[in-house]
Amino acid sequence: MGEATCGVDLGGTKIQAVVLGPDGIIGQARVPTPRSTADEVIAAIVDAAKASLDQAGLQAGDLSGVGIGSPGTIDRDRGIVSLASNVPGFTEPVELGPRVSKELDGVPVKVDNDVRVAILGEHARGAGRPFTDLLGVFVGTGVGGGLVLGGAVREGRGSAGEIGHTVVKDGGRECGCGRRGCLEAYAGRGSMERTARELHAKGRKTILFDLMKKKGRDRLTSGVIADALEKGDKMAMRLIDEAVWALGISLASAQNLLDVEAIMIGGGLGDRLGAPFIDRVAQAMQPRLFVPSRPPAMLTTKFGDLSGALGAAVLAGS
């Protein structure tokens, strides 16, 4: 085994893999996340890992380890994932680490929460390096969070940092987790799409679904939302307004509790909409901060949509 590691970011829309060498990323691959079963998702993870290895000119036996960032609750010791509502078949426990290791010739596989490993990567090699205390919030199909406190990633009992399931409106919109009023129910793309479809069925006009067809997408992606915003689509504007409102409440509450130096916003939507979106969230937070004169620094990611996979590769080598 060599110095290279492979990292895989499992998302509700896509699976991203990278191979990390001593001097940086030397191979990468991306595949859509299957919408069928856990078995199909695991097969796609293995395919993405092998494709990234092919690009790097390596084989599984050349790796010192593989890391996987997954949504949901993680049993790190056994590599088991559960309660990942945005990934088909992953609501019930899935032995992700052992099964991927078996398919990759027995290479050791570590599994942790997807946003936690993204923050690990950004803190180790990216935009989070200057900070000792950092909250990361990744806004994609769902909304995940990760914490760095005292220079170390906070693990808790396996689900630390799940800011997407903090409540912003008691009894509010139903979330994919089955509860109501979660941040993810307003800022996650999956919930945004459900809301858009409900409004469209009631006669509200939007170009979101026309753009989806034109782009050949079967889901509401960050790129579709961004394009609709650029064209002044009122429904897209409403969805983002709600996301900003919910993020403002949740992040201000987290800041009042933790008083971190910086908050990083990434994920598909955060990376695609970038600094203007993050500035709006900061403005929504400001009147809700207990110490408004000392707000946290608001950061974009350095590695964009590769943050999760790169962080998983860092995890594999740790």
In what order do the strands lie in the sheet containing 5-10?
A: 24-32, 14-21, 5-10, 65-70, 109-113
Domain contains 124: no
- Average pLDDT of the segment spanning 257-282: 96
Q: What is the pLDDT of residue 2?
A: 64
Rounded (5°) CA angle 214-219-223: 65
- Which one, of 194, 183, 90, lies nearest residue 137 by Cα? 183
What is the residue type of 125? R
**Whether the Cβ atoms of residue 243 and residue 278 lie closer than 8 Å to each other:** no
The CA distance from 164 to 183, in Å, is 5
- The predicted-structure confidence for 232-253, as pLDDT tens digits, reads as follows 999 999 999 999 999 999 999 9
Give the pTM.
0.87
Domain contains 278: yes
Give DSSP secondary structure letters for 187-200: HSHHHHHHHHHHHH
Residues 93, 215 share a domain = no
**Whether the Cβ atoms of residue 184 and residue 142 lie closer than 8 Å to each other:** yes
- Average pLDDT of the segment spanning 285-311: 96
Residues 282, 145 share a domain = yes
- Which one, of 318, 309, 317, lies nearest residue 68 by Cα? 309
Q: How confident is the model at residue 86 (pLDDT cuts 50, 70, 90)?
A: confident
Domain contains 22: yes
Q: How confident is the model at residue 42 (pLDDT cuts 50, 70, 90)?
A: very high
Q: Going by C-beta distance under 8 Å and a sequence separation of 6 or more, which residues neighbour residue 214?
A: none
How is residue 59 written in tokens?
């084989």
The CA distance from 11 to 8, in Å, is 10
What rounded mean pLDDT belongs to the chain? Answer: 94
Q: What is the pLDDT of residue 219?
A: 86
The number of domains in the chain is 2
Give me the residue label for tokens 């790190």. Answer: 76
Domain with residue 94: its CATH number is 3.30.420.40
Domain contains 125: no
pLDDT for residue 1 is more than 80:
no
Residues 163, 60 share a domain = no
The CA distance from 89 to 118, in Å, is 23
Residues 80, 44 share a domain = yes
| Domain of 9, in residue numbers | 5-119+306-316
- Which one, of 118, 162, 161, lies nearest residue 301 by Cα? 118
- The predicted-structure confidence for 185-205, as pLDDT tens digits, reads as follows 999 999 999 999 999 999 999
Residues 157, 96 share a domain = no
